[in-house]
């Protein structure tokens, strides 16, 4: 997806959450987060993997 589209979606989401018009949301910085080495390894090797996760109830 293009960076502009991703930014527009992020701005729309923040505007909705804050209850303001999107034009009033100002983007100060934008950083693309790379996939981690582990995520790449899992993807490259077509590994079926789900992290075992519990919640203390």
- Which residues would be at the binding site for another protein (CB under 8 A)? 36-38, 41-42, 47, 49, 51-57
Nearer to another protein, 21 or 48 (CB): 48
Closest CB 54 distance from another protein, rounded Å: 4
The two structure tokens encoding residue 39 = 């995520």
Nearer to another protein, 28 or 54 (CB): 54
Closest CB 26 distance from another protein, rounded Å: 18
Buried b (16+ CB within 10 A) or exposed e, 18-45: eeeeeeeeeeeeeeeeeeeeeeeeeeee
């Amino acid at each position: 997806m293009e960076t502009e589209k991703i930014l527009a979606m992020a701005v729309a989401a923040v505007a909705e959450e804050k209850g303001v018009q999107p034009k009033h949301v100002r983007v100060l910085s934008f950083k693309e987060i790379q996939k981690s080495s582990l995520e790449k390894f899992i993807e490259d090797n077509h590994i079926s993997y789900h992290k075992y996760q519990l919640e203390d109830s």
